């Protein structure tokens, strides 16, 4: 992870910073990633963990210097809770793909309500349900910790610097910039789908290092050229459904160049 930091006063007092871990709709995998960090006890001992529902029986819903928020926002009730957390928190981190841009739960945006009602939601849940999005649709997010799940190294780097009053700089540019297969070994050169050119880098192209093409879990960069990728995949013979499945896995489709994608792929179901 990038070691560069920019100075930003976070907490200059001697008291331990108040920290909270909150979860909305997700699999809790990012919170578990935090818990599985070898030195997690040392890290958390430097702060007051006042809220961490996953591991604590008694939680204090007070003011927070730092709030980690995992999960997508998928209901009206969650919006209210999210805003209340923001009001109490000086610095908010979107923890993982679901919180950053909707992630896996946002696949629901591409399903019909009848299908959701049949397989997943009760009628009561459907009533409260809204299009799944990242948390920054409703509140200001101070740092996006991307990935599904997040990277342990990024968490440690972020946390240690935060305690020193610094915020690490996020990697700028797509996964391709860190990719070991860049050039003639690129998956695209072999007509294999890899979405690294559109994905936020900073993961050290970890999947490609393990010989797995990028599936865009860190979400698309603002400059992602969805239309060009869709055209490329079509030229290889992939049909609309295959392309749509690949691009909607992490709710990426409607985050790209909306207009271009709309022209290239089937419409979202209502
Ligand atoms: S980003 Fe992935 S690992 Fe994290 S909560 Fe969402 S689905 Fe789970
Ligand atoms: S990330 Fe994927 S598309 Fe980018 S250079 Fe590597 S293999 Fe090619
Ligand atoms: S290579 Fe792609 S899928 Fe893998 S962690 Fe990075 S962004 Fe996510």
Model confidence at 8, in pLDDT bands (50, 70, 90)? low
- Which ligand 1 atom minimizes the distance to the CA of 26? 5
Q: Can you spell out the DSSP letters for 73-137?
A: EEEHHHHHHHHHHHHHEEEEEEESHHHHH-TGGGGGGGS-HHHHHHHT--HHHHHHEEEEE-GGG
**Which is nearest to 65 in space by CA: 92, 40, 103, 84?**
92
Q: Does the pLDDT at position 13 exceed 90? A: no
For residue 215 and ligand 2, the question of a CB distance below 6 A is answered with no
Among protein residues, the one with the nearest Cα to ligand 2's atom 4 is 176
Q: Dihedrals φ, ψ of 104, to 5°?
A: -60, -45
Structure tokens given for 50: 């006042």
pLDDT of residue 14: 74
Query: Of 40-49, 102-111, 174-183, where does mean pLDDT reach its minimum?
Result: 102-111
- The binding-site residues of ligand 1, defined as CB within 6 angstroms of any ligand atom, are 26-30, 70-71, 96-98, 103-104, 148-149
pLDDT tens, 49-74? 999 999 999 999 899 999 999 999 99
Q: Does the pLDDT at position 241 exceed 70? A: yes
Cα(121) to centroid of ligand 3, in Å? Answer: 30
What distance in Å separates the CA atoms of residue 225 and residue 197, rounded to the nearest whole number? Answer: 9
Q: For 261-265, what is the mean pLDDT? A: 40
Buried b (16+ CB within 10 A) or exposed e, 153-164: ebbbbbbebbbe
- Asked if 224 and 193 count as a contact pair (C-beta separation under 8 A), the reply is no
For residue 186 and ligand 2, the question of a CB distance below 6 A is answered with yes
Model confidence at 251, in pLDDT bands (50, 70, 90)? low
Q: For the chain, list the strands marked E by DSSP.
A: 5-7, 18-23, 48-52, 64-70, 73-75, 89-95, 129-133, 143-145, 166-168
Cα(14) to centroid of ligand 1, in Å? Answer: 34
**Which is nearest to 2 in space by CA: 147, 136, 151?**
151
Ligand of minimum distance to the alpha carbon of 149: 1
What distance in Å separates the CA atoms of residue 158 and residue 168, rounded to the nearest whole number? Answer: 6
- Which ligand 1 atom minimizes the distance to the CA of 104? 7
Ligand 2 pocket test: which of 173, 176, 180, 212 has the largest number of ligand atoms within 8 Å of its C-beta?
176
What distance in Å separates the CA atoms of residue 227 and residue 109, rounded to the nearest whole number? Answer: 20
For residue 194 and ligand 2, the question of a CB distance below 6 A is answered with yes
Q: Does the pLDDT at position 257 exceed 60? A: no
For residue 23 and ligand 2, the question of a CB distance below 6 A is answered with no
Q: Does the pLDDT at position 3 exceed 90? A: no
**Which domains, and CATH codes, for the chain?**
5-168 (3.40.50.700), 175-264 (no CATH)
Ligand 3 pocket test: which of 1, 174, 181, 217 has the largest number of ligand atoms within 8 Å of its C-beta?
217
Q: For 126-141, what is the mean pLDDT? A: 91
**Beta partners for residue 21, in sequence order:** 52, 68
Share of the chain above pLDDT 70, in %: 88
Q: Does the pLDDT at position 232 exceed 80? A: yes
pLDDT tens, 185-222? 999 999 999 999 999 999 999 999 999 999 999 998 98
3-state secondary structure of 157: helix
Which residues are CB-contacts of 89 (< 8 A; sequence separation ≥ 6)? Answer: 20, 63, 64, 65, 66, 67
pLDDT tens, 165-179? 999 999 999 999 999
């Amino acid at each position: 992870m990038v070691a560069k930091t920019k100075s930003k006063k976070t907490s200059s007092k001697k008291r331990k910073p108040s920290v909270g871990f909150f979860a909305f709709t997700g699999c809790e995998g990012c919170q578990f990633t935090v818990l599985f960090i070898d030195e997690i006890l040392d890290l958390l001992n430097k702060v007051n963990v006042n809220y961490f529902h996953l591991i604590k029986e008694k939680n204090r819903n007070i003011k927070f210097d730092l709030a980690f928020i995992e999960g997508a926002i998928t209901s009206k009730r969650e919006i209210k809770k999210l805003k209340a957390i923001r009001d109490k928190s000086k610095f908010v981190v979107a923890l993982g793909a679901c919180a950053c841009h909707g992630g896996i739960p946002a696949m629901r945006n591409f399903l019909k309500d009848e299908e959701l009602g049949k397989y997943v939601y009760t009628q009561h849940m459907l009533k409260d349900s809204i299009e799944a999005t990242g948390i920054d649709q409703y509140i200001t997010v101070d740092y996006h910790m991307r990935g599904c799940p997040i990277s342990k190294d990024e968490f440690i780097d972020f946390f240690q610097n935060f305690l020193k009053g610094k915020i690490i700089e996020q990697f700028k540019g797509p996964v391709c910039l860190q990719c070991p297969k860049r050039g003639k070994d690129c998956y695209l050169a072999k007509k294999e789908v890899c979405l690294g050119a559109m994905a936020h880098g900073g993961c050290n192209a970890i999947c490609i290092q393990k010989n797995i093409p990028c599936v865009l879990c860190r979400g698309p960069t603002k400059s992602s050229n969805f239309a060009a990728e869709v055209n490329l995949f079509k030229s290889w013979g992939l049909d609309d459904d295959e392309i749509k499945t690949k691009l909607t896995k992490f709710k990426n489709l409607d985050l790209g160049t909306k207009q271009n994608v709309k022209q290239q792929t089937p419409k979202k179901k209502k």
